[in-house]
């Protein structure tokens, strides 16, 4: 048995993917164990026909997923070391006030995680939005409803929101209901800026310490890589029709 080629970046996925998906059956069936970044191993028996392609496609999907996860990048972050933040300083989030914090994305890609720190015993809605000339909320890219934990908590993106490096965005936090009385902790690294707070449905600017948050993105899978998986699935469908 030989090791699969090392993949260090998304751009290196396709050569390994092609070798894995299109490897001749006579060679593939001698691979008793396939390692993917040490994450797990596939134990492959000496099987014939359709199962060869099924196993290879599963391994290929895992290879793409592992590579994308390894390429997660920070679009914005004002947490301190170890996800620290100001445990006392905060801005209120309640029926009288919502908040919008600005950021400029340092990366281009799909949003994978948004991490915030909000007071416990309250429910919130977070919305990632496009900038609208720096003064008003724009198009909502993705939103989440959740309960505050009093600690850093990650909200998982569904891949629908994408950011462009150098563009301006807002992260808005609202109370989930009129009865929710909470607060958004401030950062502890001295990051300041002009953010927005609402009063009576109108947004007003204020320049002060920003609330704490982080936005992470992953690069979208390469079209060439997705094409390789598509070809493999088509081959599998053809085999089944012939059976």
pTM for the full predicted model: 0.67
| Same domain for 173 and 85 | yes
Confidence of residue 55 (pLDDT cuts 50, 70, 90): very low
- With respect to residue 126, please indicate whether it lies within any of the assigned structural domains: yes
- With respect to residue 157, please indicate whether it lies within any of the assigned structural domains: yes
Task: Give the per-residue pLDDT at 240.
Answer: 53
| Same domain for 229 and 174 | no
The three-state secondary structure class of 124 is strand
| Same domain for 111 and 58 | no
Report CA-CA distances (Å) from 161 to 164, 195, 208, 223, 231: 10, 21, 28, 18, 27
Query: What mean pLDDT is reported for the chain?
Result: 77
- With respect to residue 3, please indicate whether it lies within any of the assigned structural domains: no
Cβ pair 73, 164 in contact under 8 A: no
Task: Give the per-residue pLDDT at 61.
Answer: 47
| Same domain for 107 and 59 | no
| Same domain for 170 and 104 | yes
- With respect to residue 5, please indicate whether it lies within any of the assigned structural domains: no
| Same domain for 86 and 206 | yes
CA distance linking residue 125 with residue 147, whole number of Å: 9
Confidence of residue 200 (pLDDT cuts 50, 70, 90): confident
How many structural domains is the chain composed of? 2
Cβ pair 239, 49 in contact under 8 A: yes
Task: Give the per-residue pLDDT at 201.
Answer: 84
Give the domain range for residue 21.
Answer: 10-71+222-242
Share of the chain above pLDDT 70, in %: 60
Report CA-CA distances (Å) from 122 to 92, 143, 215, 227: 11, 17, 22, 45
- With respect to residue 201, please indicate whether it lies within any of the assigned structural domains: yes
- With respect to residue 1, please indicate whether it lies within any of the assigned structural domains: no
| Same domain for 229 and 213 | no
pLDDT digits 0-9 by tens, 138-182:
899 999 999 999 999 999 999 999 999 999 999 999 999 999 999
Task: Give the per-residue pLDDT at 199.
Answer: 86
> What residues have CB less than 8 Å from 31, skipping those under 6 apart?
1, 2, 44
CATH number at residue 162: 2.60.120
pLDDT digits 0-9 by tens, 87-140:
999 999 999 999 999 999 999 999 999 999 999 989 999 999 999 776 667 899
| Same domain for 238 and 136 | no
- With respect to residue 2, please indicate whether it lies within any of the assigned structural domains: no
- With respect to residue 78, please indicate whether it lies within any of the assigned structural domains: yes
Task: Give the per-residue pLDDT at 148.
Answer: 96
Task: Give the per-residue pLDDT at 43.
Answer: 42
| Same domain for 167 and 49 | no
Residue with tokens 């401030």: 186
| Same domain for 164 and 48 | no
pLDDT digits 0-9 by tens, 30-50:
444 444 444 434 444 444 444
Task: Give the per-residue pLDDT at 221.
Answer: 65
Cβ pair 71, 225 in contact under 8 A: no
Is the model's pLDDT at 1 over the cut of 60?
Answer: no
| Same domain for 212 and 144 | yes
| Same domain for 228 and 211 | no
Nearest one of 208, 188, 216 to 99, comparing CA atoms: 208
């Amino acid at each position: 048995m030989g090791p699969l080629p090392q993949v260090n970046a998304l751009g290196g996925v396709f050569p390994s993917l092609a070798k894995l998906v299109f490897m001749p059956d006579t060679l593939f069936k001698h691979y008793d164990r396939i390692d993917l970044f040490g994450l797990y191993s596939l134990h492959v028996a000496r099987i014939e026909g359709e199962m060869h392609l099924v196993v290879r496609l599963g391994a290929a999907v895992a290879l793409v997923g592992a590579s994308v996860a390894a390429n997660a990048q920070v679009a914005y972050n004002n947490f301190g070391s170890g996800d620290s933040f100001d445990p006392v300083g905060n801005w209120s989030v309640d029926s009288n006030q919502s908040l919008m914090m600005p950021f400029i994305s340092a990366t281009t890609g799909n949003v994978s995680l948004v991490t915030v720190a909000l007071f416990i015993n309250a429910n919130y809605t977070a919305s990632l939005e496009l900038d609208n000339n720096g003064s008003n909320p724009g198009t909502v890219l993705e939103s989440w409803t959740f309960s505050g934990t009093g600690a850093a908590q990650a909200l998982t993106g569904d891949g629908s929101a994408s950011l462009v490096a150098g563009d301006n965005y807002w992260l808005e936090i609202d109370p989930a209901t009129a009865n929710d009385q909470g607060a958004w902790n401030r950062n502890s690294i001295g990051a300041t800026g002009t953010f927005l707070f609402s009063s009576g449905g109108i947004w007003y600017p204020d320049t002060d310490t920003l609330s704490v948050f982080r936005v992470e993105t992953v690069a979208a899978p390469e079209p060439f890589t997705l094409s390789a998986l598509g070809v493999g699935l088509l081959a599998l469908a053809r085999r089944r029709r012939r059976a």
